[in-house]
Chain A
């Protein structure tokens, strides 16, 4: 029994990790693009981007998941997500990446805007290009400042992956919950909690290490 539970939980956990890693891989870079959009000197773009960020941050991720998955089919009679599990998984990924890009973008924006004007000007009077100033001077300072808030979001993402089940993506909690119905036991569900704790614990340690690595300057 224990073995069977562990096997099923691991299958769910793998899906959870997959959701987690793919969301990060998509949202970390996309967030930077959104951040640049929200800081654009071109006002219409800035307004549109900030409006989208407001919508995404101001509504529940669960609502976004449902709308993104069912919306195209019900509104336009067009099932853009494809059939079966892979289609649902794609829809989840799209929703998660959009949602987290918006959160990350605000963290990036805060970080970028916190860098003093003097750093840009020092680079400029030395003849560096705008690109060089950003990548060689500003970026690492921004990264240092955003590690703590990004850590928060990343830990939140670990737990948010459980929302994927609302459109029937088989993840960790669902794996645990099935045993309530089939066998009348709740301890597998408690075990899922341990999976989350260990996972977020490992991430906390990694983030602390990274933070320490960047502590040589301020």
Chain B
């Protein structure tokens, strides 16, 4: 059974239909890369999955259990929050909390939601920060860190709530080119550790190496999908070829 199954997701903003029926599934431990031009619906799809937008139609299931059904409106806020916590999201703009230190950023949500005993939260947070290579900077504030370091903290913060599926929304787009490497390295290590992930990215080479499967999203529909190397190296559709050509020039 796939860990994630998205069925016929639709989303409309005013006049424009941004998602026109997206369906895909993802197996546990796999990495799904989502590529496509701006305005194609990549970010909206990720935001719908993370409950930041409410899809107009469609369902989302995790481990076979429907956690979102656009036709149903009777979920309590608490249920919705629990369902949403299946996912973690790393933003393009990091969105760290500026008034908290690195460690406090990571610990804030688990502490407020009392997910684990305090000592365990500390232990887990420290090991997450070690994993992203920032265990020496736990007392720094976000403004004292580089963009790459901030994004790595954001990854640790998302992992602190122990999501089943970790989503990345163009995680390196706001970074200076020389800082993307350290973030990509962390994501790669997570993939090697069999973390289930969805990565929206413009880094085509990275998506090719990292992903098990790639979706090419174009004008709100999945124009092509398949094994990563096949989609990138040998695209079947004209639209995909045009996009890849344009981006690699």
Q: CA–CA, A121 to B87, complex, Å?
A: 13
Interface membership of chain B positions 205-235, coded 1 if the CB is closer than 8 angstroms to chain A and 0 otherwise = 0000000000000000000000000000000
Interface residue SS majority, chain A: helix
Whether B84 pairs with A217 at a CB distance below 8 angstroms is: no
Whether B81 pairs with A127 at a CB distance below 8 angstroms is: yes
Interface membership of chain A positions 108-127, coded 1 if the CB is closer than 8 angstroms to chain B and 0 otherwise = 00000000101101111111
Q: CA–CA, A119 to B94, complex, Å?
A: 9
Interface membership of chain A positions 69-101, coded 1 if the CB is closer than 8 angstroms to chain B and 0 otherwise = 000000000000000000000000000000000
Whether A124 pairs with B157 at a CB distance below 8 angstroms is: no
Who on chain B is nearest to A139 by CB? B99
Whether B52 pairs with A121 at a CB distance below 8 angstroms is: yes
Report chain B residues within 8 Å CB of A121.
Answer: 52, 91, 95
Let me know if A141 is at the binding interface, CB within 8 A.
yes
Whether A217 pairs with B113 at a CB distance below 8 angstroms is: no
Q: Which of B84, B85, B93, B109 contacts A118 (CB 8 A)?
A: B93
Report chain B residues within 8 Å CB of A140.
Answer: 99
Q: CA–CA, A123 to B51, complex, Å?
A: 12
Whether B91 pairs with A217 at a CB distance below 8 angstroms is: no
Whether A122 pairs with B97 at a CB distance below 8 angstroms is: yes
Interface membership of chain A positions 123-139, coded 1 if the CB is closer than 8 angstroms to chain B and 0 otherwise = 11111110010001100
Whether B99 pairs with A141 at a CB distance below 8 angstroms is: yes
Q: CA–CA, A132 to B77, complex, Å?
A: 14
Let me know if A42 is at the binding interface, CB within 8 A.
no
Whether A217 pairs with B161 at a CB distance below 8 angstroms is: no
Report chain A residues within 8 Å CB of B158.
Answer: 125-126
Instruction: Given A126-B157, A126-B161, A132-B112, decide whether A218 and B91 contact each other with a Cβ distance below 8 A.
Output: no
Report chain B residues within 8 Å CB of A136.
Answer: 108, 112
Tell me how many residues of A have a C-beta within 8 Å of chain B.
21
Whether A217 pairs with B142 at a CB distance below 8 angstroms is: yes
Let me know if B143 is at the binding interface, CB within 8 A.
yes
Whether B109 pairs with A217 at a CB distance below 8 angstroms is: no
Q: CA–CA, A217 to B50, complex, Å?
A: 28
Q: Which of A125, A132, A218 contacts B98 (CB 8 A)?
A: A218
Let me know if B141 is at the binding interface, CB within 8 A.
yes
Let me know if B88 is at the binding interface, CB within 8 A.
yes
Interface membership of chain B positions 131-164, coded 1 if the CB is closer than 8 angstroms to chain A and 0 otherwise = 0000000000111000000000000011001000
Whether B81 pairs with A217 at a CB distance below 8 angstroms is: no
Q: How distant is B238 from chain A, measured CB to nearest CB, in Å?
A: 36
Report chain A residues within 8 Å CB of B98.
Answer: 141, 217-218
Whether B108 pairs with A126 at a CB distance below 8 angstroms is: yes
Q: CA–CA, A116 to B174, complex, Å?
A: 16
Q: How distant is B233 from chain A, measured CB to nearest CB, in Å?
A: 34
Q: CA–CA, A141 to B98, complex, Å?
A: 8
Instruction: Given A122-B91, A217-B143, decide whether A127 and B97 contact each other with a Cβ distance below 8 A.
Output: no
Instruction: Given A118-B95, A132-B112, A217-B99, decide whether A125 and B52 contact each other with a Cβ distance below 8 A.
Output: yes
Q: How distant is A114 from chain B, measured CB to nearest CB, in Å?
A: 13
Interface membership of chain A positions 170-190, coded 1 if the CB is closer than 8 angstroms to chain B and 0 otherwise = 000000000000000000000
Interface membership of chain B positions 69-91, coded 1 if the CB is closer than 8 angstroms to chain A and 0 otherwise = 00000000100011011011101
Q: CA–CA, A15 to B19, complex, Å?
A: 64
Q: Which of A124, A125, A137 contacts B97 (CB 8 A)?
A: A137
Report chain A residues within 8 Å CB of B84.
Answer: 124-125, 127
Q: How distant is B245 from chain A, measured CB to nearest CB, in Å?
A: 33
Binding site for A on B (CB under 8 A): 50-52, 77, 81-82, 84-85, 87-89, 91, 93, 95-99, 108-109, 112-113, 141-143, 157-158, 161
Knowing that A116-B93, A127-B113 are A-B contacts, what are 4 other residue pairs whose CB atoms are under 8 Å apart, sorted by A's residue number?
A: A118-B91, A118-B95, A218-B98, A218-B143
Of the A-B pairs whose beta carbons lie under 8 Å apart in the complex, a sample of 22, sorted by A's number, is A116-B93, A118-B95, A121-B52, A121-B91, A121-B95, A122-B96, A124-B51, A124-B84, A125-B50, A126-B109, A126-B157, A126-B161, A127-B113, A127-B161, A128-B109, A128-B113, A137-B97, A141-B98, A141-B99, A216-B141, A217-B98, A218-B98
